[in-house]
């Protein structure tokens, strides 16, 4: 069906749309919603497309009229509504009510301003009813939904409509599964960790992007793009990164535009006197039409949140570019802005976290912020920018002011809810309590402890309250706060908090039993305590119980793997770390620990490949580079080991001399397939040791390793070779003689004799390689004789020949004979 031929049901005017929803709802008969004959299906598609794009952020008593008025409690209302879900005459009314309730829940908790919904009976929306709904109806695995969310009854109706299986006529609606995904994602926002039941619902609905998008073939490009954008976010949240990548690529192709980071000359600071390359984001249209086929929304620059200026004495407000940015004149519509935000979400969650990538992300956010055309996209972009800037010394003040303005605007009713609600599902905008928590965290970081604690307490963010008191050294105060809450009501959550404060395992056991062994955090916290106490077997059991309830908990898998490593259960550790990287492919620490476990199992080639993945995630982590060198050495991949050592040296860090010495011996003693490979590896090894000895000229162990590489050169008859070898040996002898007490210890005497003998022989070979008429030949012979006599004389004065051990005596005699032969020459 062509949507352009379908008669419009809903007016583009906001006021007319509101009247339409109310008039259609008041009829109580869904059959009046449909057209006769062939237009019936078309009208339903038009209805669903409008709801998908615009939602229904308005609700009144008339919307519940089809349920009657005989219910006097939440249980009775549930029964009436579930009966309506099985009644064909109320199919569309139930669907519309579910959409309206989810939309209004988004208004009250995401975009604002919150409404009291007083047209609903008190037993559905008062404090007691709301608390019961959070703790019972919206709870998952004995974990209550967030206690600070407003009007949870609205989300409960959406849950009954889209998540529960009582809706007999769900197959009537093309977008039913998509609204189910939206409900799941909103419901997940009420929990700090990924919930297994919600993840299973998502997995059952979403098989792949292509299959899911087939249902929307009759919808326009705008609706398809919205679906793809929201799929990117939810796929990233549940670690389906490949599906997210496919959805994002299809979305960008559908919108016929692309964004790429490039470099342009410019200045970033006020005192910069010359231009240098600066990163900029260029947006380009891929199709023939300049702005794609999706219409441009009207500008609402007067109602979107204002950008707080930086006001820094060094950094400019914006990068001053030498060339005019050609992409600056290309405006983006709201769908394209949401697509850029989805791209940032995908890149942040699926890729490594580096300072360079953060700069790239900020370019995307700034591109959205400068549009000032959509409230939800602007607010989401400002929030993500604040998250990046709150750890920057020069930008934390702006982040604090920006978040404060954003929170204030949530409660301000001056901006129409329809303007706020537009694209709120697609903008990746977090709920208001997440934004307020971000503001409180910034306040605490800049020293406003009292204000932060008050905000955390109001938000019932007890995790952050405890962290604040811990940082302030006021654990007793944190304990008194939790005990006061426990005196009001005993919950598994509060006993778990008390255990984390006191480090008493009994409180975790109490929390576990109070939840009928369903509260996974109790076992996770108990496992962490036992791990810190070194009780690794008990910790393994605790983490195992937690993971049976929450198998997507990344930290529990990682901690379990750590305990297994400590107990030398390497196969179990490998299994745990594989779970970690399967959930989060860019978890560098898990890759590194997996490699360590594989090394313990002598699987060096696998460990080498695993550490390459770890470096992909954290290329700048020097500890991972050190591990990479070790495993490359064990796997006999010497070129990779050399690359790793040079990379560490590039960062100005000195490498472990013991490992260098082991590395040199291993390289020289390994049998190679051909002479070319030997020559290449030895050449790179000598270059490395030349670099090390230049940086650390007084480390004798490096010089000895350097000398060893020359002793393994087969073609050693030329003068250049002996020149370099003599210089190395001279440095070894000089460093050894810097110790005034070298002749008082048997081990140092033996070493001095050995290297002096090598030097005397090398000088003789160098003299032989020189032309007969060279004036250097007698000088080399004379200096060798003087050096040998000096070393021998010091030994005879202290220990004497008879006081030496047998091996040392042999070296002494060899050097003495060599000196005599030099004298004869």
pLDDT at 811 over 50: yes
pLDDT at 9 over 50: no
pLDDT at 71 over 50: yes
pLDDT of residue 821: 72
pLDDT of residue 325: 60
Span 262-268, average pLDDT: 88
Span 210-238, average pLDDT: 92
Contact 637, 666 (CB under 8 A): no
Span 276-283, average pLDDT: 88
pLDDT of residue 19: 40
pLDDT of residue 290: 46
pLDDT band at 328 (very low <50, low <70, confident <90, very high): low
pLDDT of residue 152: 97
- What percent of the chain is predicted at pLDDT more than 70? 90
| Dihedral sign, Cα of residue 494, residue 500, residue 504, residue 505 | positive
The CA radius of gyration of the chain, in Å to the nearest whole number, is: 36
pLDDT of residue 803: 76
Residue 723, CB-side half-sphere exposure with 13 Å CA sphere: 6
CA distance 594 to 602: 12
Chain centroid to CA 424: 24
Spatial CB neighbours of 727, under 8 Å, sequence gap ≥ 6: none
Which helix (H) or strand (E) is 156 found in, with range?
helix 152-158
Span 117-139, average pLDDT: 93
What does the mean pLDDT of the chain come to? 86
pLDDT at 609 over 90: yes
Spatial CB neighbours of 340, under 8 Å, sequence gap ≥ 6: 259, 332, 364, 367, 368
pLDDT of residue 40: 55
pLDDT of residue 26: 37
Residues 497-528 have pLDDT tens digits of 999 999 999 999 999 999 999 999 999 999 99
pLDDT at 787 over 90: no
pLDDT of residue 416: 86
Query: Which residue in 122, 141, 54 sits closest to 515, CA to CA?
Result: 141
Span 421-448, average pLDDT: 94
Is residue 282 helix, strand or coil?
strand
Among the residue ranges 96-100, 570-574, 609-613, 821-825, the one predicted with the least confidence is 821-825
| Dihedral sign, Cα of residue 107, residue 110, residue 113, residue 116 | positive
Start-to-end CA span in the chain (Å): 107
570-583 vs 588-600: helix crossing angle, rounded to 10: 160
- Residue 321 pairs with which residues in a beta bridge? 266
Span 718-743, average pLDDT: 88
pLDDT band at 93 (very low <50, low <70, confident <90, very high): very high
pLDDT of residue 711: 84
pLDDT at 741 over 80: yes
- What stretches of 326-459 show up as alpha helix (H) in DSSP? 334-350, 355-369, 375-389, 396-411, 417-421, 432-445, 449-459
Among the residue ranges 17-31, 48-62, 247-261, the one predicted with the least confidence is 17-31
pLDDT of residue 234: 96
Span 200-213, average pLDDT: 89
pLDDT band at 478 (very low <50, low <70, confident <90, very high): very high
pLDDT band at 825 (very low <50, low <70, confident <90, very high): low
pLDDT at 739 over 70: yes
pLDDT band at 337 (very low <50, low <70, confident <90, very high): very high
What are the sequence ranges of the domains in the chain?
A: 3-205, 238-429, 431-473, 652-824
pLDDT at 768 over 90: no
pLDDT band at 287 (very low <50, low <70, confident <90, very high): low
Among the residue ranges 64-73, 303-312, 650-659, the one predicted with the least confidence is 650-659
Span 377-392, average pLDDT: 95
pLDDT of residue 18: 42
Query: Which residue in 455, 447, 439 sits closest to 386, CA to CA?
Result: 439
pLDDT of residue 381: 97
pLDDT of residue 25: 37
pLDDT at 24 over 60: no
pLDDT of residue 532: 95
CATH class entry, domain 652-824: mainly alpha
pLDDT of residue 41: 59
pLDDT of residue 480: 94
pLDDT of residue 728: 93
pLDDT of residue 136: 93
Residue by residue, DSSP assigns 677-711 as HHHHHHHHHHHHHHHHHHH-TT-HHHHHHHHHHHH
Which helix (H) or strand (E) is 540 found in, with range?
helix 536-549
pLDDT of residue 145: 94
Span 179-192, average pLDDT: 96
More confident call, 729 vs 670: 729
């Amino acid at each position: 069906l062509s949507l352009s031929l379908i008669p419009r049901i809903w007016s583009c005017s906001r006021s007319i749309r509101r009247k339409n929803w109310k008039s259609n709802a008041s009829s109580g008969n869904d059959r009046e919603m449909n057209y006769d004959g062939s237009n019936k299906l078309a009208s339903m598609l038009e209805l669903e497309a409008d709801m998908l794009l615009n939602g229904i952020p308005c609700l009144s008593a008339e919307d519940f009229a089809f349920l009657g008025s005989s219910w006097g409690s939440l249980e009775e209302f549930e029964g009436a509504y579930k009966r309506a879900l099985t009644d064909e005459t109320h199919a569309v009314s139930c669907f519309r009510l579910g959409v309206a309730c989810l939309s209004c829940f988004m208004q009250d908790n995401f975009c604002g301003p919150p409404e009291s919904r007083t047209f609903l009976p008190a037993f559905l929306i008062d404090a007691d009813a709301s608390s019961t709904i959070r703790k019972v109806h919206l709870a998952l695995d004995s974990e209550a939904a967030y206690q600070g969310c407003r009007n949870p009854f609205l989300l409960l109706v959406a849950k009954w409509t889209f998540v529960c299986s009582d809706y007999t006529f769900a197959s009537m609606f093309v977008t039913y599964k998509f609204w189910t995904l939206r409900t799941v994602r909103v419901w997940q926002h009420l929990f700090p960790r990924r919930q297994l039941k919600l993840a299973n619902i998502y997995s059952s609905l979403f098989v792949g992007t292509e299959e899911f998008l087939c249902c929307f073939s009759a919808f326009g490009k705008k609706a398809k793009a919205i679906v793809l954008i929201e799929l990117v976010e939810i796929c990233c949240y549940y670690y389906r990164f490949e599906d997210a990548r496919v959805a994002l690529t299809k979305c960008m192709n559908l919108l016929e535009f692309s964004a790429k980071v490039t470099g342009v000359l410019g200045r970033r600071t006020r005192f910069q006197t010359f231009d240098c390359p600066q990163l900029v984001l260029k947006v380009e249209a891929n199709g023939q039409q300049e702005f794609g086929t999706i219409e441009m929304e009207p500008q609402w620059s007067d109602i979107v949140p204002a950008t707080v200026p930086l006001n820094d004495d060094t950094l400019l407000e914006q990068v001053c570019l030498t060339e005019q940015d050609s992409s600056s004149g290309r405006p983006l519509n709201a769908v394209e802005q949401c697509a850029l935000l989805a791209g940032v979400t995908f890149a942040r969650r699926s890729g490594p976290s580096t300072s360079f990538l953060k700069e790239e992300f900020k370019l995307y956010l700034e591109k959205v912020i400068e549009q000032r055309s959509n409230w939800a996209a602007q607010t989401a972009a400002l929030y993500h920018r604040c998250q990046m800037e709150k750890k920057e010394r020069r930008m934390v003040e702006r982040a604090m002011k920006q978040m404060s303005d954003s929170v204030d605007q949530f409660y301000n009713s001056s901006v129409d809810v329809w303007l706020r609600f537009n694209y709120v599902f697609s903008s990746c905008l977090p709920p208001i309590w997440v934004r307020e928590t971000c503001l409180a965290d910034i306040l605490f970081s800049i020293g406003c402890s009292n204000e932060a604690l008050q905000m955390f307490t109001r938000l019932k963010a007890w995790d952050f309250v405890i962290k604040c008191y811990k940082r302030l050294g006021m654990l007793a105060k944190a304990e008194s706060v939790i005990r006061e809450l426990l005196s009001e009501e005993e919950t598994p959550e509060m006993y778990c908090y008390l255990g984390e404060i006191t480090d008493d395992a009994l409180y975790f056991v109490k929390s576990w039993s109070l939840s009928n062994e369903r509260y996974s955090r109790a076992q996770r916290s108990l496992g962490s305590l036992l791990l810190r106490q070194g009780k690794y077997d008990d910790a393994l059991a605790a983490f195992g119980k937690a993971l049976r309830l929450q198998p997507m908990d990344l930290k529990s898998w990682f901690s379990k793997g750590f305990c297994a490593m400590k107990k030398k259960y390497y196969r179990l550790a490998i299994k745990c770390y594989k779970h970690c990287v399967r959930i989060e492919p860019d978890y560098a620490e898990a890759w590194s620990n997996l490699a360590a476990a594989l090394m313990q199992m002598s699987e060096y080639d696998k460990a080498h490949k695993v550490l390459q993945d770890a470096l992909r995630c954290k290329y700048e982590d020097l500890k991972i580079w050190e591990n990479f060198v070790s495993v490359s050495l064990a796997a006999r991949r010497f070129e990779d080991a050399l690359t790793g050592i040079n990379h560490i040296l590039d960062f100005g860090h000195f490498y472990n001399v013991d490992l260098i010495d082991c590395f040199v011996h291993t390289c020289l003693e390994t049998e190679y397939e051909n002479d070319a490979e030997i020559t290449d590896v030895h050449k790179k090894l000598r270059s490395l040791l030349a670099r090390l000895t230049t940086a650390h000229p007084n480390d004798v162990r490096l010089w000895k390793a350097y000398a060893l590489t020359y002793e393994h050169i087969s073609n050693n008859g030329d003068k250049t070779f002996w020149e370099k070898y003599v210089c190395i040996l001279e440095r070894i002898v000089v460093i050894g003689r810097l110790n005034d007490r070298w002749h008082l210890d048997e081990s140092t005497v033996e070493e001095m004799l050995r290297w002096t003998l090598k030097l005397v022989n090398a000088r003789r070979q160098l003299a032989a390689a020189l032309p007969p008429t060279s004036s250097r030949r007698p000088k080399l012979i004379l200096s060798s004789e003087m050096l040998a006599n000096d070393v021998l004389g010091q030994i005879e004065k202290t220990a004497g020949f008879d006081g030496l051990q047998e091996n040392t005596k042999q070296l002494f005699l060899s050097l003495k004979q060599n000196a005599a032969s030099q004298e004869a020459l």
